[in-house]
Structure 1
Amino acid sequence: MTLSWNEMKKRALEFSKEWKDETREIAESKTFWNEFFKVFGISRRRVASFEEPVKKLGNKRGYIDLFWKGTLIVEHKSRGKSLDKAYSQVMEYFYGLEEAELPKYVLVSDFSKFRLYDLEEDSVHEFYIVDFYKNIHLFSFMTGYVKQRYIDEDPVNVRAAELMGNLHDSLKESGYTGHALERLLVRIMFCLFADDTGIFTKDYFRDYIENNTKKDGEDLGLHLSIIFQILDTPIEKRQKNLDYELKELPYVNGKLFNEVLAIPSFDGNMRKLLLKCCYFNWSKVSPAIFGSMFQSVMDEEKRKNIGAFYTSEKNILKSINDLFLNDLLNEFEKNKNNHNYLKKMLNRIKEIRILDIILQRLIQFNYPKSYCA
């Protein structure tokens, strides 16, 4: 489970105190980075590897100090060495990486300082290790925390629909259609969100697919069916001899995985399409438009213009904040330590019903809260 920000700050402060005087790259760098990942509650061995071989320009061979595919490259230097040179070295590695493996972040360090490059935002942040805990928010990508942006037609949402649309079309062309296809894609989308938002261990679903299924996709459908079956089984009712990786899966109630579906047949290209979806950062996709985005995935015409077919999160919040959400949030803050009150509040929330077309009209005509009541 994802750690709280307070817990991560506490661990970052302890990390800084332990390592602030270290200088020896060769002797201690691997331990340094293993401990760095523990700050975020992540086992480095599960997600990233040391000394990853990569081909550089001119057919030369290089070794990435620390590589988390699709997320992060780390280059480590001895204290006082140039961080600019370290970054230039990382850029040479990009030549030999597949598109899906390209990192979103580059982190360079000489023990005394961190410099983090956010390649998507084109930003750079540098700070001393003693200030690590003050800058912990910069590493939200480590655990799936993200700062939400409310944009009417967020390109991230559009790209997510395109990726899932390609997988949908490929499955449909293979003959896997109708209700089974819709249900399969909903389950896959849940797993993609779970991978990046702390429901699963970070990148569990991606790593499982990449490491446990054949490249030709022959056994992918069977592995997906096994994952879905386990997600639908309470932990106490599972077989005791399950593989270690499968034991990590949580129980998901709500009957999302309850129905038995025909096992889909994948090929190598379809497996690549699924892995492309896995490498996408789903924590940046707005959950508020999940349903509408899924509808656009199933409809090729809507997929071409997703922005015209869903009520954006910005407009949803414009309506529901004043209608009831702000009141609920205020009540929650006042009573969040009252267990009995929270149970009653949860029951109230379950009874709330919203008709989307009414929201659209409210937005269009700017009706006040008193009218809606």
Structure 2
Amino acid sequence: MAKKQQLGYKEIEERLRIIKDNHVPAEEIGYHILYSFGKGERDIARYKEGKGILKTFEGLLIKGLFCFKSTTTLHLSEELESLKADNQVLKALPKIIAVSDGKTILAYDLREKDTYENKVDRLYCDFAFFYPLMDVERVHYVEESPADIKAAEKLAKLHDELRAYNEFNSDNDLHDLNIFITRLLFCP
């Protein structure tokens, strides 16, 4: 098996932008997500050949990592709930379970018990939910002031929302956003 690459957020963003720019079919989105979070082209080719995945699963199921299934728009929520309760999926313990119809993606983090929903063509703007695919787990703050935690969470949500609904096409745009968030943090 090829070594998993450690990518920065810019590289992840560029790789996820391929999904938007090329209108990737629903059944291929899972592979593109894996590629975007560090899996090599060789690994992706192996998965497509049925190697390194659970062959009896209808979709993409990689033990300890990822579960993905394409479905119709009407059955997105129903399919996600079905996968969350599926014994085969639970036994494989993927970090993330995801479903897509090619336009929308729904995902669930088994460890954090958290749900994610976004338009597929906006995934490149809001992808932190999928960091566990790179073995980057969420940080849980200990011994911090509740007010500090609440303020940091609100600013992080504001930052994520601004990125999710606005185009930031250059380094300067992102730098300006970060300056704005910093200034908000230090407002009296």
Considering the TM-score relative to the shorter chain, is it more than 0.5?
yes
**1:114–1:128 Cα contact (<8 Å) kept:** yes
Distance 1:118 1:107 in 2: 9
Q: How far off is 1:120 after superposition?
A: 2.0
Alignment CA distance shift 1:37-1:105 (3 Å)? closer
Residue aligning to 1:71: 65
1:102 equivalenced with 2:93 (yes/no): yes
1:39 equivalenced with 2:43 (yes/no): no
Q: State the percentage of identical aligned residues.
A: 18
Which letter maps to 1:3? L
Deviations 1:280-318 (A, max 9, x none): xxxxxxxxxxxxxxxxxxxxxxxxxxxxxxxxxx8xxxx
Deviations 1:172-202 (A, max 9, x none): xxxxxxxxxxxxxxxxxxxxxxxxxxxxxxx
Distance 1:108 1:98 in 2: 16
Q: How far off is 1:48 after superposition?
A: 5.0
Distance 1:84 1:98 in 2: 18
Distance 2:126 2:52 in 1: 22
**Structure of higher CA gyration radius:** 1
Q: Relative contact order: is structure 1 or structure 2 higher (C-alpha 8 Å, sep ≥ 6)?
A: 2
Distance 2:84 2:38 in 1: 28
Residue aligning to 1:123: 114
Structure 1: 5+ residue stretches without partners = 54-62, 153-313, 315-373
**1:72–1:103 Cα contact (<8 Å) kept:** yes
Deviations 1:9-64 (A, max 9, x none): 111112222126x4xx6xxx2x4433332222303336852x631xxxxxxxxx33
**1:71–1:102 Cα contact (<8 Å) kept:** yes
Which letter maps to 1:35? H
1:13 equivalenced with 2:10 (yes/no): no
Residue aligning to 2:78: 85
Deviations 1:87-140 (A, max 9, x none): 13314522x4675x2223211111101111112222211000111011211110
Alignment CA distance shift 1:9-1:93 (3 Å)? same
**2:83–2:89 Cα contact (<8 Å) kept:** no
| SS in structure 1 at match of 2:126 | helix
Residue aligning to 2:133: 142
Residue aligning to 1:320: none
Distance 1:137 1:126 in 2: 12
Distance 2:11 2:128 in 1: 12
Q: How far off is 1:71 after superposition?
A: 2.6
Residue aligning to 2:55: 52
Distance 2:138 2:58 in 1: 29
Which letter maps to 1:16? K
CA RMSD in angstroms, aligned pairs only: 2.7
What is the number of equivalent residue pairs in this alignment?
133
**1:108–1:116 Cα contact (<8 Å) kept:** yes
Alignment CA distance shift 1:32-1:115 (3 Å)? closer
**2:95–2:133 Cα contact (<8 Å) kept:** no
TM-score between the two structures when normalised by the length of structure 2: 0.59
Distance 2:90 2:130 in 1: 24
Deviations 1:57-95 (A, max 9, x none): xxxxxx3311011232212114x232122113314522x
Distance 1:97 1:10 in 2: 30
Which letter maps to 1:110? D
Alignment CA distance shift 1:15-1:130 (3 Å)? same
Alignment CA distance shift 1:131-1:48 (3 Å)? farther
| SS in structure 2 at match of 1:75 | strand
Structure 2: 5+ residue stretches without partners = 145-188
Distance 2:66 2:13 in 1: 21
